[in-house]
Amino acid sequence: MTDEFAAHRRTAGGISFTDVGEGPVTFFVHGVFTNGRLWRNCVRLLSGHRRCISVDLPGHGHTPPVGEPSVWGLADAVDTVIHELDLHDIHLVGNDTGGAVAQIVLTRDPQRFASFALTNCDTEGNFPPPAFRPAVWAAKAGLLRVGAPLVTRTRLGKQIYRIGYQDISAVPDDVITDYLTPTLGSREGVRFMTTLLSSMTPTLLAPIRPSLSSCEVPTVIVWGTGDIFFRRTWADWLVDLIPGAGGVVEVPEARLFFPDERAYELANALRNHWN
């Protein structure tokens, strides 16, 4: 696998991550079928004045399929890195399924976090979103194993990701390969992803609602309005739920399902939030 920040790659408790730059700790959590490279463009823009940690969740990137294959197990992995590095005053950023993971992590120990930011992501009641349910049905039917050819057929793999990107041609081929290889390129990866996707239900995040509804951590919701997976109404739902949320920052017509494509707008929104 390729890696723009190979010199900055570390592991903690078996969980792989990159650690780039110095300054306030900014911790990025990606969604399913991607990895920490999703944040590469944001890291380039922000690491000049911030310490940017991008985790590879279990079964993704450089982290093997370890732990419980559910959002709870993915949250355990994030907690492992945070506690192994003894991080405090963290600025936590989550996207897609990683947004659901980040919500869980935040509610477990809110005192560790200086701020919270979510882009288009799963929430209670929209987990998985309707447009992603075919992938969940395919997992439950045991069909993920037929996706192995996508790992080596980059052009076909890009067609799968086209639904989330506005310009898939601008995404490097090796990024798509690195997204697909750990998740579909081995029996262990497919088994992990099958269980992970099959566990998704609209009520899965209900247990954390009471904690989110009392969370005063300063929160920004950055939402691309062109995303077919996560409609604007879910951004408003999060703002209504989280007391620390100051409102929604819209990125018009953007698909922040994959924020590497709109890193400039996201980085500006994050800077404004931190300031």
pLDDT for 153: 85
A 10 A CB-CB count for 109 gives 13
In a domain, 76, yes or no: yes
The 10 Å Cβ neighbour count of residue 185 is 16
Instruction: Tally Cβ neighbours within 10 Å of residue 79.
Output: 17
C-alpha distances in Å from residue 36, one per residue of 149, 215, 262: 23, 26, 16
Q: Environment class of residue 202 by beta-carbon count within 10 Å: exposed (0-12), middle (13-18) or buried (19+)?
A: middle
Instruction: For the chain, give the mean pLDDT.
Output: 95
In-domain check, residue 192: no
Q: What is the pLDDT of residues 70-80, one digit of tens each?
A: 999 999 999 99
What is the reported pLDDT for 152? 80
- What residues are paired with 201 via a beta bridge? none
Domains of the chain: total: 1
Sign of CA dihedral 199, 200, 201, 207: positive
Distances (CA, A) of 245 to 145, 214, 263: 40, 11, 21
In a domain, 218, yes or no: yes
CATH of the domain at 231: 3.40.50.1820
DSSP 244: T
Residue 84 pLDDT > 80 = yes
Kindly provide the b/e burial profile for residues 211-245, where b requires at least 16 CB atoms within 10 angstroms of the residue's own CB: ebeebebbbbbbbbbebebbbeebbebbbebbebb
Q: What is the pLDDT of residue 2?
A: 67
Least confident of 64-73, 230-239, 247-256: 247-256
What is the torsion angle, in degrees rounded to the nearest 10, for the CA atoms of residue 57, residue 9, residue 177 and residue 202? 10
Is residue 164 domain-resident?
A: no
In a domain? residue 190: no
Query: Looking at the predicted structure, is the pLDDT value of residue 16 above 70?
Result: yes
Nearest to 36 by CA among 13, 49, 19, 22: 19
Quick one: which H or E segment has residue 41?
A: helix 40-46
Q: Is the pTM of this model over 0.95?
A: yes
Cα(208)–Cα(143) distance, integer angstroms: 31
Give the C-alpha distances (Å, rounded to integers) separating 189 from 76, 102, 143: 18, 22, 13
- Segment 194-207 mean pLDDT: 96
Sequential DSSP letters for 47-88: TTTSEEEEE--TTSTTS-S-S-SSHHHHHHHHHHHHHHTT--
Q: Contact 165/42 with Cβ under 8 angstroms?
A: no
Region label for 119, one of left (φ > 0), alpha (ψ between -120 and 50) or beta (otherwise)? beta
Where in the sequence is the domain holding 257, given as residue range(s)?
A: 6-132+204-274
- Residue 26: inside a domain: yes
Low-confidence winner among 58-62, 105-109, 202-206, 250-254 (lowest mean pLDDT): 250-254
